[in-house]
Amino acid sequence: MLDMKSVEVSAPATIANLGPGFDVVGLAIENYRDVVHIELTDDKVISFEIVNNTSVAVASKAEENSAVISALKVMEYSGVRKGFKMKLVKNVPVGIGLGSSGASAAAAAFAMNILLSGKLPMEVLVKSAGEGEKVACGAPHLDNVAPSLYGGFTMILDVEKPEIFNIKPSVDFSIVLVTPRVSLPRNKTEYARSLLPKKVELETMVKQTASLTRLIVGLMSGNLEMVGRAISSDFVVEPARSIMIPRFYEVKEAALKSGALGFTISGAGPSVFALTYPEDAENILYEVLRKFNENDIEAKGIVAKPSWIGARIEEH
């Protein structure tokens, strides 16, 4: 990989939080991938072009885009300062809880590291992408950028200095992903955070940690039922944020009744997701959409698969 002048990298969308894993556990989703092409230049000029395949506007100024800032952070940690031309192809839907800016930041960090001889370890790329995200969006969302980079499920073991544990259970599963059309304030992520309680009762924290324990044990042992039950048992975030999703608990009940192993809000919402055995996925998707529609809420959804690779070079 030495002496590469340009590279194209893609990184997947993600589902953060996973119920009791708020800000800690995330999952990469293969179906949407942002693509970043970077070419190093000998001047110190940065040029940035964006091709937006999503339906929502994204930060098109270089100094406001998470991908550019993430790439600059990788340069900073590598002790290099060159110019670059970046082209970002946005495919991950924006603002619906799928870690869109995190995917851009992850792809950019991965790409720039390759161009600088791949010296930084993955955890520093997580840090770089998180810092990029923070400048661009106000918060680092490590539980988004980490799965975008690693693929599979990732866990943040230390909030202050990124330490990641990555796991790819050897069981096949699908994710039913549904986005209801709801009108939310422009800065949706900030709004979603403002819904959260500032403080949590100690007793509630204990219930949450028991549920998180089930989630981690389930992931480590590849027990999908355990993972599902844990995802469905969030005592802090789901109760607070579900108010922005009309009929949330009815929809959740419909999903669980039709075979979902677990169901909750994806990231900051308003998308919701079900963890499911592949054979039940289409039926669950149908039931979730039906329940939203029955209540006059427009919604669209897909059956998604986990991304086991995370960020990767795109060959041409």
Tell how far CA 251 is from the center of its chain. Answer: 22
Q: How far apart are CA 60 and CA 238, in angstroms?
A: 32
Q: Is residue 314 flagged as an active site residue?
A: no
Judged by CB under 8 A, which of 13, 22, 33, 95 binds a second copy?
22
Q: Which of residues 278-297 bind a second copy (CB under 8 A)?
A: none
- SS3 label, residue 139: coil
Residue 190 within binding range of a second copy, rule CB under 8 A: no
Strands 163-167 vs 299-304: parallel, antiparallel or unpaired:
unpaired
Q: How far apart are CA 212 and CA 112, in angstroms?
A: 35
Nearest approach, Cβ of residue 313 and a second copy (Å): 29
- SS3 label, residue 129: helix
Q: How far apart are CA 160 and CA 158, in angstroms?
A: 6
Judged by CB under 8 A, which of 80, 94, 124, 220 binds a second copy?
220
Q: Is residue 189 flagged as an active site residue?
A: yes
Judged by CB under 8 A, which of 49, 121, 217, 300 binds a second copy?
217
Q: Which of residues 233-262 bind a second copy (CB under 8 A)?
A: 233, 236
Residue 171 within binding range of a second copy, rule CB under 8 A: no
**Residue number with CB closer to a second copy (24 or 231):** 24
Judged by CB under 8 A, which of 57, 199, 296, 315 binds a second copy?
199
Residue 163 φ/ψ region, left for φ over 0, alpha for ψ in the -120 to 50 degree band, beta for the rest: beta
Structure tokens at 179: 């986005």
Q: Are 258 and 283 a contacting pair, CB within 8 Å? A: yes
- Comparing C-alpha atoms, which of 261, 209, 269 is closest to residue 236? 209
Residue 211 within binding range of a second copy, rule CB under 8 A: yes
Nearest approach, Cβ of residue 233 and a second copy (Å): 8
Nearest approach, Cβ of residue 186 and a second copy (Å): 23
Q: Which of 189, 238, 264, 287 is catalytic?
A: 189
Q: Which of 8, 14, 131, 133 is catalytic?
A: 133
Residue 205 within binding range of a second copy, rule CB under 8 A: yes
Judged by CB under 8 A, which of 82, 85, 207, 312 binds a second copy?
207
Burial grade of 139 (CB within 10 A; 0-12, 13-18, 19 or more): middle
**φ, ψ (nearest 5 deg) of residue 183:** -90, 125
Structure tokens at 139: 């918060």
Residue 194 within binding range of a second copy, rule CB under 8 A: no
Reported residue count of the chain is 316
Residue 24 within binding range of a second copy, rule CB under 8 A: yes
Active-site residue numbers?
133, 189
Give the residues lining the site for a second copy (CB under 8 A): 20-25, 155-160, 163, 165, 196-202, 205-214, 216-217, 220-221, 226, 233, 236
